[in-house]
Amino acid sequence: MDHRHALFYWPDPYDVSGTEELFLAAVRENCLYESAHCPAYRRILADFGVKPEDLRRPEDLGRLPFLPTAFLKTHRLFSMPRWRMPILATSSGTSGKASEIGFDAGSLLNGLQMVLRVAAPRGLVSPQPCHYIVFGFRPHPSNRTAVAKTAFGYTCLTPAVSRTFALKRRDGRYVPDLDGVIRAILAQERSPFPTRFIGFPAYTYFTLERMRERGLRVRLPRGSKVMLGGGWKQFYREAVDKTALYRLIEDRWGIGEDEVIESYGAAEHPILYCDCPRHHFHVPVYSRVLIRDVHTLKPLPPGEVGLVNLITPMVRATPILSVMTDDLGVLHPADSCGCGIRSPYLEILGRVGMKNVQTCAAGAAELLTGAAGSPSPII
């Protein structure tokens, strides 16, 4: 029985309590597969003394060895040959290194179901044609980042009248072209079709700021939306609080807060988290969240702040069933939101490792490679 398939076709994407058994069965199945096909993962399971069949109760998910994103960035783990992976995606690698995640055909088909189910409640799937302004990269053979792929994927949720990309490829590098974006925005004010903005909040914010500096203001057609995702990346210093951003969007583009939709996800945990009308990330059935203590890495009770550990049985090609992000967050009970969705929601509070300190000692290590062989002793 393909439990993964059953889970991804579950009618209500937020029926977390109703899918408890099914989720466990799917993780067990996934764990068994990885253990059979990925020797390194099998050795890790053995070292932690965990067998797939041990995963019986929801709390057993915490016993599953998790793979930190930092680990995935330095280790390529695959459970099937390359030809069975239609997509090989890399994380955006803000700090230089990127992880490489393989996607099997089954995971992509299931992923499509997920996107349609999660995006529908926010009115993202529609036959109404739209202009798309993507604050990201235009997909290019040399750019395999998951961000570029998902951003492009979002432009397929409705028929696209036009696609404008904020990051242009010039001399083999990506450079932001915010002025080009502003020209497109000004033109689209008079279009019969609504505009959708997609991508990094930082570039969205910079564009809005530039429009404000120049005194430019548009009222985009009804149905226009802003989809934010991908985090603040290297612009964490300018991170503005969300309400200020919503106000700026309303002020400069005439798009109300209800039409601003934020998503959360990562190449290493390709589950689409879409915020509810109150801007909370409720956990969809395809995913479970454990918050772990920053000192001991042990699971914490709900409501406490810690590292965000994400679990999903979506992918087979790479053993990413339990992944530790660099995010600090907290899991809130469903009823503290009040939007009506019955699953708990995840609040991301920040990122660890953003200090990205390369120490002088680390620099020295780079210089030390090359001296081969062992010197002889002085007797």
Binding site for another protein (CB under 8 A): 40-41, 43-44, 46-48, 65, 67-68, 70-71, 75, 234, 294-297, 305-307, 324, 328, 350-365, 367-368, 371, 374-379
Q: Is 8 buried (19+), middle (13-18) or exposed (0-12) by CB count in 10 A? A: buried
Nearer to another protein, 11 or 375 (CB): 375
User: Residue 238 Cβ, how far from another protein at the closest point, in Å?
Assistant: 9
Q: What are the φ and ψ backbone dihedral angles of 168, each rounded to 5 degrees?
A: -105, 150
Nearer to another protein, 116 or 305 (CB): 305
Nearer to another protein, 98 or 119 (CB): 98
CB neighbours (10 Å) of residue 295? 7
**How far is it, in rounded angstroms, from Cα 256 to Cα 175?**
29
**How far is it, in rounded angstroms, from Cα 239 to Cα 258?**
21
User: Residue 48 Cβ, how far from another protein at the closest point, in Å?
Assistant: 7
User: Residue 322 Cβ, how far from another protein at the closest point, in Å?
Assistant: 12
Q: Which residue shows structure tokens 């996800």?
A: 265
User: Residue 66 Cβ, how far from another protein at the closest point, in Å?
Assistant: 8
User: Residue 161 Cβ, how far from another protein at the closest point, in Å?
Assistant: 32
Cβ within 8 Å of residue 150, ≥6 positions away: 229, 265
Nearer to another protein, 32 or 305 (CB): 305
Nearer to another protein, 336 or 358 (CB): 358
Structure tokens at 42: 């099998």
Nearer to another protein, 11 or 373 (CB): 373
CB neighbours (10 Å) of residue 292? 18
Residue 227: which of 288, 332, 136, 159 has the closest Cα? 136
User: Residue 360 Cβ, how far from another protein at the closest point, in Å?
Assistant: 3
User: Residue 270 Cβ, how far from another protein at the closest point, in Å?
Assistant: 21
The residues pairing with 167 across neighbouring beta strands, listed in sequence order, are 137, 176
**How far is it, in rounded angstroms, from Cα 293 to Cα 67?**
16
Please report, in angstroms and rounded to a whole number, the separation of the first and last CA atoms in the chain. Answer: 69
Nearer to another protein, 115 or 330 (CB): 330
Q: Are 65 and 38 in contact (CB under 8 A)?
A: no
